Structure 1
Amino acid sequence: MRRKIPSTQALACFEAAARHESYTRAAEELALTQSAVSRQVGALEAFMGMALFRRTRHGVQLTAAGADYARQIRRQLDAMERDTLDAMARQGTGGALQLAAVPTFATRWLIPRLPGFARLHADVTIHIETRTRPFLFADTPFDAALWAGTPQQAAHWAGTRSTVLMHEDVVPVCSPQLIAPRRQVGAQAVAKLPLLQQSTRPDGWAPWFEAQGVAAPRARSGPRYELFSMLAAAAANGLGVALMPAMLIETELARGELIVACPRPLRGERSYFLVSPAVQDERPALALWRDWLLGQAQAWLQAHPAAPDAAGGTRNAKYVS
């Protein structure tokens, strides 16, 4: 079936003219004549059967429909250019993967491990953008997502397959100076310290204190920060004790900027998933990525035993699909 798509030359002329709202400046950018740009835009308007520009005494101005179409076309042209450059750089081998990821997990756990992937698969380029909520893969350029949520939420992400990478085990951490000269304290002592809160999880501390059998009237009090990275910085600077997933503060723990105030981890409700479209023919580059990522997660889990749950037992930390 023949696609109803205008020529890329017409789209490029229209996008440049829309961005500048000037045929003359678009022509200068594209190394064309002003009349050539005008003809291309006119051909595009005829193809679509609608006006994209209004002609004024001072030049041209986008119509409402033209402005909306320009925003969409600009994204598509940018994606085509990016994909073309990736293919040219790879000379037909390997490929590029577009990944959506929750920001702190990507910055603190994934990116420090990416050099290992690059050494094994130098012909595969990884692009990462931030996404925190489920989306439709068909409406985005993404090949896969690194996402945090509950198994129930993952099951309702339509048209996808998901694999658990690791569970979000949280533990109280703080600056060494906050509890000096002690290196660790009990749960009752933690309840008396300034508690740092995550604004998106206002009840984060309550389950931890309940699991320890400790009354904590101030469990919901304390300064609030939106991101885990903000919590880590606040804790490292002595503002209080934070309830953090250990996987996100490996650097601070290794440097001694943070210490585990009370070695009583708790299994949270959320897990980290690799999510991808549910298709039969998966891209080879994505299959390589999946295998490598699962190996990295497995190595981390082996080095960090599963945390106890609220009942005092442990939950299975193996991968499930």
Structure 2
Amino acid sequence: MQTPRRFLPSIASLRALESLDRLGSATAVADELNLTQSAVSRQLQTLEAQLGVSLIIRDRKVMRLTEAAADYAASVREALQQITQASLKVQVNPEGGSLNLAILPTFGMRWLVPRLADFAKRHPEITINMATRLSPFNFGTQPFDAAIHFGHAEWPGTGNLRLKPEHVVPVCAPQVLERTTIAHPRDLLALQLLHIETRPYAWAQWFATYGVDAQGLQGTLYDQFSTITQAAIHGLGVALLPDYLVEQDLATGRLVVAYGGPTRSLGSYYLVWPLEKARNASLQVFRDWLATQAEDEDALPR
């Protein structure tokens, strides 16, 4: 069934509406779209005429969207993002498939990317497009086919493949331990503890494995592993980091283990995908290949 033309406005008109909702003024819209304000106004008038409804509240020289138009603009924004991604897919790989993948920056660079050469060799027809995301998001509003996620298999409306459990180890610069003796895990409480934003309870969990009650811990907070690792290397305190991340720094002596050895954290790394994309051919190929790379006793999709 062919969709009536009045329900398929021009891209130019839709871009003008979306930009006005996001930027808040016709002047800003004109600058972003490289148009005159009169041209922007005509685009919006054309859209209103085509839909047969009023979308813009015009108060002297100020324009703002009606409540219904703002909701419409949000849906338009998502549709424009999907069109952009679809256009990019066909442009960069017109002969094959592609996969838009959200990755955690450190795990993606240290664990996934070194393995992708094998995937590219086996499946040159599939292009993997990657962007970093530090926390879970809504697949409905983000243009991703799948994501690398840390935590538990609790992302609603998705399937998942467990890739690797996380093991952590407390590390610091050698000079930090020159000033103190660590004979028991509780001795670390006397040192400056470095915390990572994505693992707010990591230290408390680590101490609990040794029977140490350590609630309400103080210390400094970092948002990425790259910065907290550098802080530890420069002697700012003790960081609890994934073992795969600090292997090289431990080998070169830039970091040393503050106490004990690697212990398993309460989370794992997963590939997750929205259920509605489970039959995506490129995703199925990537998922099956990634299952061969998984470092887990139960690496089957669930």
Q: TM-score range by the shorter chain?
A: 0.7 to 0.9
Partner of 2:87: 84
Aligned amino acid, residue 10 of structure 1: S
Is it true that 1:149 corresponds to 2:154 in the alignment? no
Partner of 1:220: 217
User: Residues 166-200 of structure 1, C-alpha deviation per residue, up to 9 Å, x if partnerless?
Assistant: 11211111123323599x96545545443323456
Is it true that 1:284 corresponds to 2:281 in the alignment? yes
Give the aligned length. 290
Alpha-carbon contact 2:168-2:240 (below 8 Å) kept? yes
Q: Distance in 2 between matches of 1:109 and 1:8?
A: 44
Partner of 2:102: 100
Q: CA RMSD in A?
A: 3.9
Partner of 2:51: 48
User: Residues 71-115 of structure 1, C-alpha deviation per residue, up to 9 Å, x if partnerless?
Assistant: 5424422431332132133123132x1223344433443345444
Structure 1 residues 126, 192: closer, same or farther in 2, change over 3 A?
same
Structure 2: segments with no counterpart, 5+ residues:
none
Deviation (angstroms), 1:162: 1.5
Matched residues, percent identical? 35
Aligned amino acid, residue 21 of structure 1: A
Q: Distance in 2 between matches of 1:5 and 1:254?
A: 65
Aligned amino acid, residue 247 of structure 1: Y
Deviation (angstroms), 1:116: 4.4
State the secondary structure of the residue aligned to 2:268.
strand
Alpha-carbon contact 1:160-1:277 (below 8 Å) kept? yes
State the secondary structure of the residue aligned to 1:221.
coil
Aligned amino acid, residue 232 of structure 1: T
Aligned amino acid, residue 238 of structure 2: V
Structure 1: segments with no counterpart, 5+ residues:
302-316
| One of 256, 259, 266 as aligned partner of 1:259 | 256
Structure 1 residues 82-231: aligned runs within 5 Å: 82-95=85-98, 97-123=99-125, 124-130=127-133, 132-133=135-136, 135=138, 137-150=139-152, 154=153, 156-179=154-177, 186-188=183-185, 190-198=188-196, 201-212=199-210, 220-231=217-228
| One of 251, 256, 269 as aligned partner of 2:266 | 269
User: Residues 224-259 of structure 1, C-alpha deviation per residue, up to 9 Å, x if partnerless?
Assistant: 334433332221111121111113334544554323
Deviation (angstroms), 1:43: 4.3
Aligned amino acid, residue 163 of structure 2: L
Structure 1 residues 51, 232: closer, same or farther in 2, change over 3 A?
same
Deviation (angstroms), 1:165: 1.0
